[in-house]
Chain A
Amino acid sequence: MSRRPFVREVSRTRWYFRQPRYLRYMSREVTCIFIGAFALLLLCAVRRLSQGQAAWESFLAALEGPWSALGLVVILVFAVHNTTSWFNVTPKAMPVQIGEEFLPGKFIVAAHYVAWILVSLLVLYFAGVR
């Protein structure tokens, strides 16, 4: 009797179509492209700001228009998906044990949402939104 184990090849480019859970994972991972794009936009904004008022105003003018607004909305949707999908798994990474019990995960998730809202309000406050 001879051993001749058979190895099943896994497609390196289509593996995530095998299961809906893999597609869900990829939908979270692909958000990094949009987060990265927004980070680049922010860097451009800082650079233009450092170049003076005229440069800053031309940067703002370039952002006006329907295509730019659409792009920002798309980025916002992916950013929210990124944020919520990570918030929802935080209890796995940061379990809180109190005595012999664990704090229910929903409290840890809720704490992240509360912190998110507070930080957003602070940013809006410093941005001059009253």
Chain B
Amino acid sequence: MSDRLVHLDVLRYDPETDSEPHFQHYEVTCKEEWVVLDALNAVKESIDPTLNYRWSCHMAVCGSCGMMINGEPKLSCHAFLRNYEGVIRVEPLANFPIERDLITVADDFIDKLKQVKPYLIPKDDKSIDEGEYKQTPAQLMKYRQFSMCINCMLCYAACPEYALAPGFLGPAAITLAHRYNLDSRDGGRDQRQEVIASDQGVWQCSFVGACSEVCPKAVDPAGALQQVKLASTLDWFKEHLLPGGKP
């Protein structure tokens, strides 16, 4: 393993003393194989223990360490130093308020996630004695891709619609709603539809596609949102053109 002197410009913000964020420059010796998160850990351990950031698993599973790295939303545990030259600019995830240093306020996302009821709402309640809700591999494949979301919020940081209209439910929340709507065991679509097909729901999306480009788990939220638009449009036609008027 070869060593390398890494230059970092990290956005710092202390709500108790700073009126606005400012960049702080660090130079830290790293192994060539390290990721940006390792470099931040090295800074915190050996140069500046006051630096704040979130992380947990270090393996692109927990979704905690999302940051803007050279202006791009990335999991810092997945951003290899060997892919960067010169000074690496590290900032908190865009489109979220900064709590402190690289930590953002995620309350808005958590609130939106709750609104879409991202859990199974069984069609028919069964007693435990009746056994499990069964599913074929084909039924699983229908939604499997969307179930890979780790709630890292990179898609929100990439989404210009969310930046300009913060009321927008956003890519991950709608994708997770779609994931459960596609699940053969679920019967909660009507409840979720009230939220995801509302003014602040899927129709705020104009298909920039940035969410899918930055997703570290290849979930393709942009695809999910377009599928929700199609399904919602079909609902409208069924409601207005079919006898009975109910989707």
Interface residues of A (CB under 8 A from B): 1-8, 10, 12, 15-16, 18-19, 21-22, 25, 29, 89, 91-95, 97, 99-102
Chain B 145-187 near chain A by CB (<8 Å), digits 1 or 0? 0000000000000001001100000000000000000000000
Min CB distance, A3 to chain B, in Å? 6
Q: Does B118 contact A (CB under 8 A)?
A: no
Min CB distance, A30 to chain B, in Å? 13
Given contacts A6-B13, A22-B160, A100-B141, is CB(A93)–CB(B227) below 8 Å? yes
> Given the complex of chains A and B, what is the CA–CA distance between A6 and B138 in angstroms?
46
Nearest A residue to B95 via CB reads A10
Nearest A residue to B162 via CB reads A10
Given contacts A6-B15, A92-B220, A99-B138, is CB(A15)–CB(B163) below 8 Å? yes
Please determine whether B230 and A22 come into contact, CB atoms closer than 8 angstroms. no
Residues of B within 8 A of A19 (CB): 71-72, 210
Q: What 10 A-B pairs have minimum CB-CB distances, sorted nearest first?
A: A92-B223, A93-B226, A5-B97, A4-B15, A6-B98, A10-B163, A25-B208, A7-B97, A5-B105, A100-B138
Nearest A residue to B214 via CB reads A21
Nearest A residue to B224 via CB reads A92
Min CB distance, B121 to chain A, in Å? 23
16 contacts between A and B (CB under 8 A): A1-B16, A2-B16, A3-B99, A5-B97, A5-B98, A5-B99, A6-B15, A6-B20, A8-B94, A15-B160, A16-B160, A89-B226, A91-B223, A92-B220, A95-B223, A100-B138
Min CB distance, B34 to chain A, in Å? 26
Q: Which of B15, B105, B164, B226 contacts A92 (CB 8 A)?
A: B226
Q: Does B206 contact A (CB under 8 A)?
A: yes
Please determine whether A21 and B210 come into contact, CB atoms closer than 8 angstroms. yes
Please determine whether A97 and B138 come into contact, CB atoms closer than 8 angstroms. yes
Residues of A within 8 A of B13 (CB): 6
Please determine whether B137 and A100 come into contact, CB atoms closer than 8 angstroms. yes
Please determine whether A89 and B227 come into contact, CB atoms closer than 8 angstroms. no
> Given the complex of chains A and B, what is the CA–CA distance between A7 and B56 in angstroms?
25
